[in-house]
Amino acid sequence: MRTSALRAATLAAAVTVLLPLTACSESGTTDDPDGPPPSPVAANAAEASSSGELASQKLTWKPCPAPSPAQGGGKTPSPLPGGTPWECSFMKVPLDYANPGGETIELALIRARAKNPDKRIGSLIFNFGGPGASGVATLPAFGNDYDKLRAGYDLVSFDPRGVGRSAGVECETDQQLDARYETDVTPDDSAEVNAFVKDIKTYALACKKNSGRELPYVGTINAARDMDLMRQVLGDKKLYYFGISYGTELGGVYANLFPKNVGRSVLDGVVDPTLDSVQSSLGQAKGFQLALDNFAEDCVNRGAACKLPGSTGKEVEQGISGLLTGLEKNPIPGIGTRKLTQSLAITGIAASLYSKETWPLLEQGVDEADGGDGALLLALADSLNGREADGQYDNSMAANTAINCADSKQRFTADQTMAKLPEFQSASPVFGDYLGWGLMACTGWPVAGVWETPDVSAPGAAPILVIGNTGDPATPYKGAKSMADALGKGVGVELTYEGQGHGAYNSGNACVQKVVGDYLLNGKVPAAGTVCK
């Protein structure tokens, strides 16, 4: 059974979802020779983010309800240490910024007030990545980790457009999603390839049918404009920001659009803005393989305490590969009537690599699956796919696909994908096929994307702290330097954390937290190239 603790363990890395359910790649043919209509974005990137009327709206803050099913469900958020409650509100934004006086949608917001109003710097806005993660549900889950930052800030997060309670994208039913996640996502013959392609296109049509109005407007550029409107509505002259994983891309795009409005900003678990979809997917394949290598070596170094067979890291991984090979034809019992398939097992393994704290779950899950019990690996897969124990899914994966496909121009055919597979297999024997076939995630999507890579250059912006983790599986370490360089000289300031897992601040490393705290609370910019161990 999936528990809130398991969900928290997976989210602790601030979710970046694996690319089989996200971005697309390299130009390919589509069923429509003219292509789908483009995502509407303003031609002028410096366009004001809102009308004066929306910028002057007053928010009504109330006690927060329990998260909705689309946000992941759960209990009403508990107060922070000292009793500070969480408050929730909704903010109106234009559906289409090209028509700011037209139709609006509402974004769900959450906040916890600063400890001392007299020393308040402003609102620190969080985005926890995905894309697709509900900030309203995630911030309180890890509020204790950020509580010391309330010395100077209201802690604020939100469900970006298309996510959770913010005009959340809807695609397939819970039952359809169960079937979809069981489907073989590494097809081996023409029949399986045809079934795979059909499933992707069926999913895209379901998204169009159920959320066609929102799909053209859920991209990152509009989310960045929403944040600038949020800044104004919250009464801040500058945007104070903490972006994690995909949230770093959002932060970079914001800096490009509104460089003069950038305040103290932290980008942690950094997406490389210079990579196209193929390069990004290959980077993830290498990153997850590195994390699996590190897990396997750790297992061997613990000797008899490790439950998995093998006297070397390679032998441990061969055992895992053997398990996955067997599951392709012979799924094993999982939870209730649900079985653990190869696809779900790979997802569960990936979920456990987001944080070193969940390595024990990976060891236990593989050991139990070797013995015919797939419950734990299935629960780990559910945690990443956004499935609750009662069978309800949140909308994180639907939003993830919608946002990525609204952003990315690239579309891949099956033939183009197969031509790329050897490169992916070389990058990762375990995750290569999985991530390689993920290049087709946007095939047949009803809205065209707007970029091959995002523009994050921000000349004139205030210094932005960019943190890279040398052992990060989801956003490989070199992406931090790429982001710092792309932001521009004097803007991107790189901090290195020599650790494991996705992201750095939530690792609990005292050095990282001190550097971030000194920067956000005191304005102390660290020397570029600072290293925390």
Cis peptide before 131 (omega within 30 of 0): yes
Alpha helices in 408-499 (DSSP H): 414-427, 432-437, 478-487
- Where are any strands of DSSP class E within 429-479? 464-471
Nearest C-alpha neighbor of 393 from the set 403, 377, 382: 382
The token pair at 42 is: 């303003």
**Dihedral angle, C-alpha 5, 503, 126, 346, nearest 10 °:** -50
The token pair at 518 is: 């000194």
Nearest C-alpha neighbor of 185 from the set 194, 196, 174: 196
Measured CA to CA, the distance from residue 206 to residue 172 in angstroms comes to 6
The token pair at 19 is: 């690319």
Nearest C-alpha neighbor of 281 from the set 20, 5, 493: 20
**Dihedral angle, C-alpha 508, 511, 515, 516, nearest 10 °:** -10
Q: Which residues contact 497 (CB under 8 A, 6 or more apart)?
A: 467, 468, 469, 470, 504, 507, 509, 511, 512, 531, 532, 533
Nearest C-alpha neighbor of 250 from the set 454, 409, 55: 454
Give the C-alpha distances (Å, rounded to integers) separating 240 from 15, 22, 120, 315. 21, 28, 12, 47
359 by DSSP, 3-state: which?
Answer: helix
**Dihedral angle, C-alpha 169, 172, 174, 175, nearest 10 °:** 180
Strand 262-268 to 464-471 pairing: parallel
Residue 178 dihedral angles phi and psi, to the nearest 5°? -55, -45
Q: Give the residue numbers annotated as catalytic, written as ranges.
A: 245, 472, 502
Cβ atoms within 10 Å of 48's Cβ, excluding its own: 16
